[in-house]
Amino acid sequence: MYGPEGSGKGTQAKLLSETLGVSILTSGDLVREAAATDKGHIGNVSRLALNEGAYVADVDMYTLWERKIVEYGTKSGWIMDGFPRNVEQAKFLEENLQRLDSKVDVVIYLNISEEESLKRLIKRARPLHPGSTELHDSPERIKNRLAVYKAGQKDLLTYYKNKGILLEVSAEKSVEDVHKDIVSHLPQ
């Protein structure tokens, strides 16, 4: 599941998970879990990223995802939300899945304007962490994260389009209509 924050990736991943009967793995959950439980380097960078409202560096995301890919790689289907975000991450994912004799079947790109994304995220107003009065979804933090997302967007979409596995869906419709579009265009 790919798209900017506010595109409905989490909502659509949950609906698709229920429709297909598969698990969801999210970058955000991996980072939050590491921030809460890991006392070493990965925990430190995860806490820092959450406090700054930024993304965790690729090299550290690889560590987090490598663990999950090994854990879930042999299971019958799962949905990734929030990873990969750039071509280098896509190649990392591909290599790790190949080792497990697995692959990415489809990349669902939820296309949404930056204005709509910003509007939805400001409305969401998530705190930095439970109990925090500081917002993770402040306009400045949102714009910084969207800029990072946008930097890798074109190349990643081209990468998956060239592989023939990109499914682009407009995310500016109702939740139900977006879900129907996804399900009706999934490869069989």
Residue 32 lies in a domain: no
Contact 129, 23 (CB under 8 A): no
Q: What is the pLDDT of residue 129?
A: 67
**What are the tens digits of pLDDT across the range 21-30?**
999 999 889 9
Q: pTM of this prediction?
A: 0.82
Domain, as residue range, for 93: 9-24+79-180
Residue 69 lies in a domain: no
From the CA atom positions of the chain, what is the Rg in Å?
16
**What are the tens digits of pLDDT across the range 103-146?**
899 999 999 998 898 888 888 877 766 777 777 777 888 888 88
**92: CATH:** 3.40.50.300
Q: In which residue ranges of the chain is pLDDT below 50? A: none
How many domains in the chain? 1
Residue 29 lies in a domain: no
Residue 163 lies in a domain: yes
Q: What is the pLDDT of residue 24?
A: 92
